[in-house]
Amino acid sequence: MSPLVIASRFCGPEGSANGGYFAGCVAARAGRTVTVRLLRPPPLDTPFETQELDDGTIAVMSGTERFGEAKPAVLALDARSPPGYIEAVEASRHYAGFAHHRFPTCFVCGTRRVRGDGMGIFAGPVAGGDLVAAPWVPDPSLDRGDGKVRPEFMSAALDCPGFYAVSPDDRPMLLGEITVHVTRLVHIGEPCTVLGWPLQTSGRKRAAGTAIFAEDGEVCGLARALWIELKSA
């Protein structure tokens, strides 16, 4: 199998991969639902080898350093009820990243990425609750060749809204691990709503649920993520 390389376009924090995209690329190689743990920020334009260990763990290596690992998983998560698409558009107008963004060039939620380059998923608070939501219309650059979004971009879309669900006060956090289950690849140009909500908090760890909904309310993808608050915070 050829090395896994995360191109610079798909960054999260400057100089490292977007965690959801990285996890999606690893999951695609596993060919099943997995929990991907990020052990350190994955560098861009760097060849990674994926090695399956005796216990079924897939180690993501660069030289002798392990940057991530994936383990078989079953995602047990019920999606919250989504707002309508127009409500998601309204929520996105209040996206916290418009006022201040720690990683403004992030492929998924960065405000310095132009349409067709970044994904433009700006999840803002839904009035009257603890949800964040954003509209998402996948652009042609995400096409896997048959009019549908590549699975790793579904995984990427399920990443950043989780941060804004668990860190409404913009505390610095990094993605620790994520489990993604895709039930249907959405189509290029299909109006979707991406939702995020908090699950639980334990010390510096905060769990989030995220989901992608089609216009008719169909759940197309779900994820559970663990975010780690940085000690410096």
Please give the distance of CA 206 from its chain centroid, rounded to a whole number. Answer: 15
The predicted model gives 203-220 an average pLDDT of 96
Residues in Cβ contact with 146 at an 8 Å cutoff, skipping those fewer than 6 apart: none
pLDDT given at position 90: 97
Of all helices (H) and strands (E), which one includes residue 154?
A: helix 151-157
Q: How large a percentage of the chain has pLDDT more than 70?
A: 99
Its pTM stands at 0.95
In the predicted model, what is the mean pLDDT of residues 138-161? 98
Domains of the chain are: 8-72 (no CATH), 85-229 (3.10.129.10)
The mean pLDDT of 70-87, rounded to a whole number, is 95
Residue labelled with tokens 């996105």: 92
Q: What is the pLDDT of residue 214?
A: 96
pLDDT in tens, 95-120: 999 999 999 999 999 999 998 999 99
Helix (H, G, I), strand (E, B) or coil at 92: helix
Task: Write the pLDDT tens digit of every residue in 34-66.
Answer: 999 999 999 999 999 999 998 989 999 999 999
Q: Is the pLDDT reported for residue 233 higher than 70? A: no
What pLDDT score was predicted for residue 171? 84
User: What pLDDT is recorded for position 128?
Assistant: 86
Give pLDDT, residue 110: 97
Of all residues in the chain, the percent with pLDDT exceeding 90 is: 90
Which residues have CB under 8 Å from 68's CB, separation 6+?
A: 22, 23, 26, 36, 37, 38, 39, 42, 59, 60
Task: Tell me: pLDDT of 169 over 90.
Answer: no
Q: Which helix (H) or strand (E) holds 21?
A: helix 19-30
Separation of alpha carbons 26 and 195, rounded Å: 23
Q: What CA–CA distance (Å, rounded) separates 218 from 114?
A: 28
What pLDDT does residue 231 have? 81
Averaged confidence pLDDT in the chain: 95
Give every CB contact of residue 104 below 8 A, 6+ residues apart in sequence. Answer: 97, 110, 111, 112
How far is it, in rounded angstroms, from Cα 140 to Cα 69? Answer: 30
Pairing of strands 173-182, 124-125: unpaired
Q: Are 226 and 203 in contact (CB under 8 A)?
A: no
Query: Strand, helix or coil at 103?
Result: coil
Chain center to CA of 184? 16
